[in-house]
Each structure stands twice: as C-alpha cells, then as structure tokens.
Amino acid sequence: MNEAAGASPLRQTFTPFMLALDSRVRGVDAQRIRLQLPFAPATCLRGGDATDLRAVASLLDHAGGAAVYAALPDLKATATLDLRMDLAGMPAAGQDVFVDAGCVAIDDGSALVVGEAWGSVAGADASARTPIARMTGRFVVGLGPGQRPGDDDRRAREARAAAHVPVVPPRVESFDELLGGSTCGAVFTLPPAPWLVGSIGLPALHGGAVAAGLMTAAQALAADPATGAPDLRLKSLTVQYLRAAHLEETRFDARVVKRGGRALYLAVDATQRGGERGIATLQCLYA
C-alpha cells in the first residue's frame, strides 16, 4: 500500500464532514485504502478522552466509499447502500483511529467492501493496536447520492451547492457538538449544518452523519432505565440507506424490538419532511 500525501487524487473524496473530522489518507492502492482519524476534540466523547464510536462509524462508512474510488479510478460517484459494524473493542484514551478497507467483489451494479478499525497512539508499533470494529458494506457503483441512471448534471449541481459548503469547519469541543441536534426521550432531531455534508451536489448529509444520528437515538433509548438495560453495551449495528438525506432537518426515532436478560435489540428510523420521507433504518444489538 502506497503512502498518500495531501495531494492524493483521493483528496477529492474528502467531504465537508470528513474535513471537519480531519480525516486523512495514509495509504492507497487498487486493493485497499487506509484512513486515519486523529485524536482531537471534534472526534471525542463529550467530557471524555477517547474517540466517539459514532466518529468511528462515520470513518468506516467513508472508507468504504473511498475503497470503491480506489478500485475503480474512473468512477465518478458512489453511495452507501448497506453498512454493518461489529464491535471488537473500544478506542483507548488518546488513540488515533485507523481504518483499512478494500473491495472484495465488484460489478456493474455494486461493490462489496470489507474493512477493520483499530486504535493506536502515534509512534506505537503494531502490537500496541487496539481492535475496535470490523465493517462490511455494500456500495452502489457509478451513482452518487440522489442520482439516477443517466443523470449528467453533476457539475451544475455541485456549482449550485458550493455556496453551502464551509471553507473552514467549526471549532468544537466534542463530537456531540460537531453533530449538533437535540434528544427528547428516544427521538434525536438533527438540524441541517453545512459541515455535515457528504455530497455537495445535492447537497446531502454524509452517510456517516446519518449513521451517527441513528446511533445517537439508539443510545438514548438503551441508556433509559425504563428499557431495563442501561448496563449493556453496543455490539453490532446494520444501517440500510434508503435514499439521499437532503440538507434539512432529520428526525431519528428509536424503538425496542426485543428485550432479554442479556440482550437488547433496537431499531431506529431516520425520516425527513415530517416523517414523509424515509432516509435510513438501523438495527442494533446491545449485550
């Protein structure tokens, strides 16, 4: 895997949301890509000293799309269809997060990407890695968020949307502050913010920002003593992306699917326009 400098062609895949997280390319070839999420306030738990799992999920989602770009250099667009994350551990204090991802199958319609995330302090050897998660994702090939076969107005849409993209991301003290939004019970409401953009062509929210919103609602419900499972921890999640999330208010509603003595299954629906437009769904396991 070749080291990638800031001038890498894959820099074009770095969206406002990833720039706000200061995500970096650390290696790329046709088989795999490596991304780094430096330890910083914008990636951390509020009041904590370790990277937020929602930031890790965001990086995994982005790495999957970047791996498709790396495998098909002429590809102009891609979008996440399905993303699964299985947790193996938690980021340790002060660790940067790294993701390796690569396409294992690709055809005219979609690509299958697998990857893993781990934590490491700068300068530490491989034996000091902390396993965090494994990722499996399915990504559409040749279309971006909100596009249909035959769409050819990408440049015009990007030009119209450019005014919505901030040149400098906001200075924040936690991932919660970067994401924004408010929680009421098991409902998380996310207002539009330009630094959450993934596709500037619509503009649309980054898939990682949508995943983070889904995870926020799930965590709020899991932590509620009324669910009877505040001591359980997230173990796996699957996100299905239904359509592009336009840059507008998005609501995330969590519900209990099944509760057991040592397991809790939750589902979350992401909608816009008063519930009329379904954006994504999440299924997750706490155990």
Token pair 């894959």 is found at 10
pLDDT single digits (tens) 32-81: 999 999 999 999 998 889 999 999 999 999 999 999 989 987 766 889 99
Q: Which residues contact 241 (CB under 8 A, 6 or more apart)?
A: 79, 80, 81, 82, 83, 207, 210, 279, 280
Checking if the pLDDT of 12 tops 50, the result is no
Domain ranges of the chain: 9-141, 180-286
Give the CA radius of gyration of the chain: 18
Q: What is the model's pLDDT at position 47? A: 86
CATH superfamily, region 9-141: Hotdog Thioesterase (3.10.129.10)
pTM: 0.90
Domains 9-141 and 180-286 alike in fold: yes
Checking if the pLDDT of 9 tops 60, the result is no
Q: Is 270 exposed, middle or buried (0-12, 13-18, 19+ CB in 10 A)?
A: buried
pLDDT (average), residues 240-264: 96
- Identify which of 59, 64, 62, 73 has the alpha carbon closest to the alpha carbon of residue 9: 73
DSSP summary character for residue 105: E
Query: What's the whole-number average pLDDT of the chain?
Result: 88
Q: How confident is the model at residue 216 (pLDDT cuts 50, 70, 90)?
A: very high
Largest CA distance in the chain: 54
Q: Which CATH architecture has domain 180-286?
A: Roll (3.10)
pLDDT (average), residues 6-25: 73
pLDDT (average), residues 166-183: 89
Secondary structure (3-state) at 262: coil
